[in-house]
Amino acid sequence: MNRRFGRESTAEEVLEGVDLSGQVFAVTGSSSGLGEESARVLAARGARVAMLARHPGRNAKAAARIRSSAPGADLSTHVIDLADLANVARFADEAAGQLDRIDVLINNAGVMGCPEGRTADGFETQFGVNHLGHFALTARLAPLLLAAPGPRVVTLSSGGHRIADANLDDPNFETTPYDPWMAYGRSKSANAHFAAELARRFDGDLLSFSVHPGAIATRLGRHLTPELIQALRQRAERSGGGGGGGLRFKSVEAGAATQVWAATAPEADAHNGCYLADCGPAAPGPGEQGYEPWIDNPDTAGRLWELSERLVGLSFG
């Protein structure tokens, strides 16, 4: 069935009539927001969902909320801290002992606009969590993904990628003055490059997508001050990323739709490696669905991949 969805479509609508029984999904950042909503709708359609989050208490509460709306939901909760590569490795070992495969990994977690900081391994926080943490997680879960028929990896990017391309020379702001939005933009461009390069390196054995969910009010914005919000609005207006009317917010239900669509829809198969928005492929240019052409650069994506392998001490693909 080839159905058309758009900006206001919800994750529930995307999965209407879809049976996911027998499929295994892993969702990072599942304790609230888009991750929780994605886990909810997937479990409600019969999927087994591994909920991955940093705070076990919040994750347990999210699982309880899901079970209250979807009795019988097949959920498991797991602790993972993407800011700590040893913790990522520990979770991957745990997953290998509990799962025989993962059909879909949704790299949903992230941080945005946070004060300057470093991960446990010394990386700038937004680059370290948003990109390197998910890069390492995907690498370590690759055997479980490749054990599934037609596996998919969905990685959340953002319209914030318009702020800056990934910086391969100073990814950790060691020589560049730190700017919260610059760091966020770099990390979101890195997410898009990673998704594209993952698709290229696995050449059909694994489908990979990056997703712009839209602007949604979630815990992702917990670090934002009025000054940072105003600066983001001004950037969006200058770039045309807000569709000419500044930032337009979506509901959480609509925000989760594109990642759920990418994770499940047969129609998405034709867009392997692409940057998606509003349940379909985006195009270079302005507007909410547009993207900066720099995320379409295979040379940057390949070099970022090699840099990431060196930084996290892993090789795959």
Q: Closest Cα partner for 71 from 59, 79, 63?
A: 63
Give how far Cα 71 sits from Cα of 40, 43, 52, 251, 298, Å. 11, 10, 20, 24, 45
Its sign, for the CA torsion 114, 289, 136, 61, is positive
Greatest Cα pair distance in the chain:
52
Map tokens 């948003």 to a residue: 130
In the set 178, 184, 275, 291, the catalytic residue is 184
Residue type, 111: V
Whether 178 is catalytic: no
Give how far Cα 33 sits from Cα of 157, 266, 274, 297, Å. 15, 25, 24, 31
* Catalytic residue IDs: 184
